[in-house]
Amino acid sequence: MITVMSTSMKSNNYTKSVREQYESYPFPPRDPEEELTTIKITDIDFIGKISHYCFNGKLNPEKQKLRFLVAGGGTGDAVIFLAEQLRGFCGEVTYLDMSQTSMHIAQQRAKIRTLDNIQWIQGSLLDLQEMDIGEYDYINCYGVLHHLKDPSLGLQALASRLKSNGAMGLMMYAKYGRTNVYYMQKLLKMINSVEDTLATKVSNTRTIIDSLPETNWLKCGPIPFWGDAELHDSHIFDLFLHSQDQAYDVMKLCEWLDSNDIKLIDFAENKSLYKPSTFIKDQCLLKKINLMPLKKRQAIAENIAGNINKHIFYAKKSSNNKVASFDDVENIPYFCDGLPFEPNTKSLYEIVKNASPGSIVTINFPNTQKQVQVNISTYTKYFIKYIDSRTTIKKLLKLVQSDPDFRMAPPKKAQLLKDFEDMYTEFQEHDTIFLRYKNISPYKHYRQLQNIT
């Protein structure tokens, strides 16, 4: 592992109180020894998902020397997950964080995993433009920019290190789903205004949480909060006591990205909550709303939902559409529950094989706790039967046509494509199916990533 101590920590490109917080309360709290049994999956950093949304399904870690940057790496979840996915390949990951304590924890986790493909930098992301570190295919910046005094400066710094065809995975706080959190932050600023130590502020916070009546917004707001017994001090501080914290609704988020010449590719989690059709069933009204610009439709859905507390999304500098499409029949579809299903997984087929056309089947994905409502058509179970992480859409259609059940009357390709699109859309809305190009090997599944000896 290469350690680079950046000269950026000699600059003033960070807020003293923010750095003090993360030195005292590294976030998220992690025990390096847990690496022996568990790998933390940061959903937005699954290479297959990045490839699907940002590189037309053609990201190839086996053949390409991929470079990833985690800006604001904290205690290491994203950097460990990305580096483990690149193990055995020629790619590399750069970790950047201003907290020495956080970086030390991340390094201990990497040491236990014997990862040697990480470059370590202690520094501020605001100094990225001055660092001699090259450009990156993908940059992760999860929950960092909204803590800056000027998030635009941070976004511009990230963009300066992004390849022209690269992409970013970002998380920004969402306004409405954090309403109760901001009421609590305001309360605690009043109570802790006379306190000097971080530990006392945390202690006071726990006391206040235990004192809250059921009528308090924290307990009855968009995402109810029921107690602090299981929360580490780091969680308490990051959620309620952070010195800088600003949130965005969809309209503000899009305007902010546009003002910095960055294009939103798509939201990477809770996509159904950004669609008015999830909530509005009146077709006449829905037809009118669907004529509105996309970001306005998303803003309408966000206001209806009321519980989106994080905007998690992919973004890029160019306006070229790079999302993998089922229109390219040389793409390979594969099911995913945070990570790809292992080869020859038949569990989904067992769920739908006896379902009647016209029925609706609920499929649970236990790792991500997602539920997908699947409208069963004549061909749904056959698509699921033949999706095996190795078969292209083109070959999949031929397999269905030649299935013994259709020996006497093989279905037409056009009808199969229409039914496949309907099924694919239902799964894709929940990120439980992705596409990769035919000449790219399957991305690593869980057991491959957790094979520590």
Give yes or no for a contact between 48 and 119, defined as CB atoms under 8 angstroms apart: no
Give yes or no for a contact between 241 and 188, defined as CB atoms under 8 angstroms apart: yes
**What pLDDT was estimated at residue 4?**
55
User: What integer is the mean pLDDT of 333-356?
Assistant: 87
- 221-230, 307-316, 351-360, 424-433: lowest mean pLDDT where? 221-230
CA distance linking residue 285 with residue 379, whole number of Å: 32
One-letter amino acid for residue 392 of the chain: T
Q: Is 288 buried (19+), middle (13-18) or exposed (0-12) by CB count in 10 A?
A: exposed
Instruction: Record the pTM.
Output: 0.94
Helix axes 413-428, 393-401, angle to 10 degrees: 120
User: What integer is the mean pLDDT of 325-338?
Assistant: 96
DSSP H helical ranges for 260-310: 283-289, 294-305
Count CB atoms within 10 A of the CB of residue 353.
12
Task: Establish whether the linkage from the previous residue to 28 is cis, with ω within 30° of 0.
Answer: yes
Overall size of the chain counted in residues: 453
Count CB atoms within 10 A of the CB of residue 285.
11
DSSP state of 409: S
- 63-67, 89-93, 196-200: lowest mean pLDDT where? 196-200
CA distance linking residue 261 with residue 318, whole number of Å: 9
**What pLDDT was estimated at residue 142?**
98
Q: pLDDT band at 453, cuts 50/70/90? A: low
User: What integer is the mean pLDDT of 119-138?
Assistant: 97
User: What integer is the mean pLDDT of 21-34?
Assistant: 92
Whether 7 has a pLDDT exceeding 50, the answer reads no
Among candidate residues 446, 370, 366, the one with its CA nearest the CA of residue 37: 446
Percentage above 90 pLDDT, the chain: 85
Q: SS3 for 278?
A: helix
Residue 150's alpha-carbon distances to 9, 143, 437, in angstroms, are 18, 14, 39
CA distance linking residue 328 with residue 77, whole number of Å: 34
CA distance linking residue 155 with residue 91, whole number of Å: 24
Cβ-count burial 304-340 (b if 16+ within 10 Å, e if not):
ebebbbbbbbbbbbeeeebebebeebebbbbbbbbbb
**What pLDDT was estimated at residue 8?**
45
Render pLDDT for 215-271 as a digit per residue (tens, 0 to 9). 999 988 777 775 655 688 999 999 999 988 999 999 999 999 999 999 999 999 999
Checking DSSP bridges between strand 263-267 and strand 331-337, what pairing results, if any?
A: unpaired
**What pLDDT was estimated at residue 355?**
96
Map out the domains of the chain as residue ranges: 2-173, 180-241, 331-449
Look up residue 10 and give its two tokens.
């000699």
Look up residue 175 and give its two tokens.
């306004």
CA distance linking residue 276 with residue 297, whole number of Å: 7
CA 162 distance to own-chain centroid? 18
Give yes or no for a contact between 49 and 434, defined as CB atoms under 8 angstroms apart: yes
CA distance linking residue 147 with residue 161, whole number of Å: 20
Please, what is the end-to-end C-alpha distance for the chain in angstroms? Answer: 19
Residue 246's alpha-carbon distances to 146, 184, 222, 274, 277, in angstroms, are 5, 14, 17, 20, 29
> Where is pLDDT greater, at 282 or 6?
282
One-letter amino acid for residue 305 of the chain: A
Whether 117 has a pLDDT exceeding 70, the answer reads yes
Contacts of residue 22, Cβ cutoff 8 Å, sequence gap at least 6: 74, 97, 98, 99, 101, 102
Whether 66 has a pLDDT exceeding 70, the answer reads yes
Q: SS3 for 369?
A: coil
For the chain, helix, strand, coil in percent to 5 are: 45, 15, 40
Look up residue 274 and give its two tokens.
């950004």
- Topology at the third CATH level for domain 2-173: Rossmann fold (3.40.50)
> Where is pLDDT greater, at 221 or 326?
326
Q: Is 45 buried (19+), middle (13-18) or exposed (0-12) by CB count in 10 A?
A: buried
